[in-house]
Amino acid sequence: MRSEQRAVVAPPRCPTCAVRGSAMCSALGDGDLARVRAIGLRRTVAAGQVLVWAGDPNAICANVVSGVLKIVRVASDGHEHIVGLLFPGDFVGDLFTESARETVQVLCDADLCVYPRGALRHVLDVHPAAERLLLRRALTTLDETRKWMLMLGRKDASAKIAAFLVDMARRLDGSGGVAGRFDLPMSRSEIGAVLGTTIETVSRQFTALRVAGIIALPGGRAVVILDQARLARRAAA
């Protein structure tokens, strides 16, 4: 008798995952996805928690399903610098280093798929399409870092804040279900730390953009872009 083959289906969570089409998993079929899922676990991490400490053994990698994380590097003088942000669909960790080079901290509550680094490397060794996708994601992250450095290099505080909001709108726009509106994943003091300026300067620039009718600030960390063209022109100044 011929044995019947049971169809392999994706894990229940995966078909409805918001980043199924953009994360590492997008390069995997249902059977391979089930194998990757078998070595991982879902983890919800609260804002403020550290996922990875710089210098610790590089034990895990993760896909960001929701939330925003920051990458922090400590300079020789002991000061911490935010050198990047991770958004839904981004990959956390480095498959090829034994120790973590940066600290990764959660900015707003995050939903992650976490994998042991060694086990994930073993699975990806036989899935070159997924490895190529991770390489493309790494190159995209490098490009984002270059944009970040360009933003930090702007001398004018108004241009810095405008460029920052343009970037946040690109990454977060519509996350709350309304186009042109998003919630900032960090406080104004953290924005100041990112941009190399003070919380007072950040607040003044936000107020100036609001008074000019370019943005609205409904409350909390919510931002509404009212005039995208003018905001872009300020960012390019």
- Tokens for 215? 């943005």
Please give the C-alpha separations between residue 33 and each of 23, 87, 127, in angstroms, as whole numbers.
12, 21, 11
| Spatial separation of the C-alpha atoms in residues 34 and 100, rounded to whole Å | 27
- Residues 174-225 pLDDT 10s: 554 455 888 898 889 888 887 888 999 999 999 999 999 999 999 999 999 9
User: Which residue do the tokens 């120790």 mark?
Assistant: 99
pLDDT in tens, the chain (237 residues): 344 444 444 556 777 787 877 777 776 777 777 777 788 888 999 988 999 999 999 999 898 998 889 888 887 777 777 888 888 888 888 888 899 989 999 988 899 999 999 888 887 787 777 777 677 777 776 676 676 666 666 668 898 899 889 888 888 865 544 558 888 988 898 888 878 889 999 999 999 999 999 999 999 999 999 999 999 999 887
